[in-house]
């Protein structure tokens, strides 16, 4: 359910851009270095979404998983800047199209658990 709603939301995220041109510096970066650089953008997007979810009056810290999918879907448009930056960073470091693949796949797979963990940590 969350995936289909976010797939629709990602249509709003997608922006037509020119092809990503790999700079000489990127060619010399290791996979680990590229991953580390891209994770900064993922952390920023996650932080924005987690803050938006936690601030939503529908969020219940005693049962954080309740309705979390809908809260995430509603939070993504509020965090378009960081989400777009994350997608662009993955495209830049790993090739065109990898950013959206990452967002729609591994990122969204772990996002609910990360949000629950972050909100529990900040609630203490």
Q: What is the pLDDT of residues 16-56, one digit of tens each?
A: 344 445 565 677 899 999 999 999 999 999 999 999 999 99
Which residue did the predictor score with more confidence, 96 or 119?
A: 96
Long-range own/partner contacts, residues 107-112 (CB < 8 A, 24 or more apart): 107/42, 107/45, 108/2, 108/3, 108/6, 111/46, 111/49, 111/72, 112/2, 112/65, 112/68, 112/69, 112/72
Mean of the pLDDT values across residues 103-123?
Answer: 91
Q: Residue 68: its pLDDT value, please? A: 94
CB 108 within 8 A of CB 86: no
pLDDT confidence bin for 121, thresholds 50/70/90 = confident
pLDDT confidence bin for 114, thresholds 50/70/90 = very high
**How many angstroms separate the first and last alpha carbons of the chain?**
30
- pLDDT at residue 66 is higher than 60: yes
- Rounded to two decimals, the pTM is 0.78
CB 119 within 8 A of CB 62: no
């Amino acid at each position: 359910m969350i995936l289909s709603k976010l797939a629709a939301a990602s249509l709003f995220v997608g922006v037509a851009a020119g092809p990503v041109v790999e700079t000489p510096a990127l060619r010399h970066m290791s996979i680990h270095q590229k991953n580390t650089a891209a994770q900064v953008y993922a952390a920023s997007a996650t932080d924005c979404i987690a803050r938006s979810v936690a601030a939503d009056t529908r969020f219940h810290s005693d049962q954080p998983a309740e309705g979390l999918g809908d809260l995430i879907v509603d939070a993504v448009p509020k965090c378009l800047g960081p989400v777009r930056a994350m997608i662009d960073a993955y495209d830049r470091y790993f090739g065109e199209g990898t950013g959206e693949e990452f967002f729609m796949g591994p990122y969204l797979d772990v996002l609910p658990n990360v949000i629950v963990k972050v909100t529990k940590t900040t609630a203490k």
